[in-house]
Amino acid sequence: MATRSECDTGWGDANVVGKRHISTLPRYWMTRLYVALSTLTGVYTMWTEPSALTHRLIEKSGQQGWMLAAGLAAVAMVAIADVIVNDLMPERFRLVTAKNKRHLVYCFLALGILCMTYVFVSGDGGWYRPLVLPFWIDALFAVGVAFFDSFQRHRAPQ
């Protein structure tokens, strides 16, 4: 068993994956990638599909709704870049700030998703409530990722 200083990631995962270039266990990076891609896909559908219900709801909210969607897309792209560079690429490629502030990225992602669902529910009396369930699941995953990331960073060395 390697000590904490021998592991490149500081998470103790390098020995588990055999010191290959993927520096994090798949259950971590796959969950982060799922949340970010799901969010970005939802925003992309809002932008590009005028007949989608989400597009019509954001359209009714006005410029603020589109600004929220753009901000959510930007945060999702930062999360995707973090996964690709910090988890999947070799150790010499690092986005240090993104890795150190990863928990904040996923908190902002969850907050943006929940704000988006508020826009959906507040329009036209809120008869769209079943529409928000997938968004709430993604927000729950994002909060879970942020919590476990913070927890893993501050655990005692083993």
The domain ranges of the chain are 22-153
pTM listed for this prediction:
0.77
> Is 15 or 30 the better-scoring residue by pLDDT?
30
Alpha-carbon distances, residue 36 vs 78, 121, 154 (angstroms): 9, 22, 24
Helix (H, G, I), strand (E, B) or coil at 37: helix
Do residues 132 and 42 touch, judged by C-beta distance below 8 A?
no
Q: How far apart are CA 32 and CA 144, in angstroms?
A: 10
Task: Say what the pLDDT of residue 1 is.
Answer: 47
Mean pLDDT confidence for 35-45 = 94
Return the pLDDT at 92.
78
Give the pLDDT score at 18. Answer: 45
State how far the Cα of 86 lies from the Cα of 88, in Å rounded to an integer: 6
- 86 DSSP assignment: I
- For residue 13, is pLDDT > 70? no
Quote the pLDDT of residue 6. 46
Positive or negative, the Cα torsion across 78, 80, 86, 92?
Answer: negative
Rg (CA), the chain: 18
Average pLDDT, the chain: 80
Who has greater pLDDT, 60 or 155?
Answer: 60
Q: Is the pLDDT of residue 91 over 80?
A: no
User: Which positions ≥6 away from 147 have C-beta within 8 Å?
Assistant: 103
Q: Which of 27-31, 48-52, 112-116 has the lowest mean pLDDT?
A: 27-31
Any residues with CB less than 8 A from the CB of 62 and at least 6 apart, and which? Answer: none
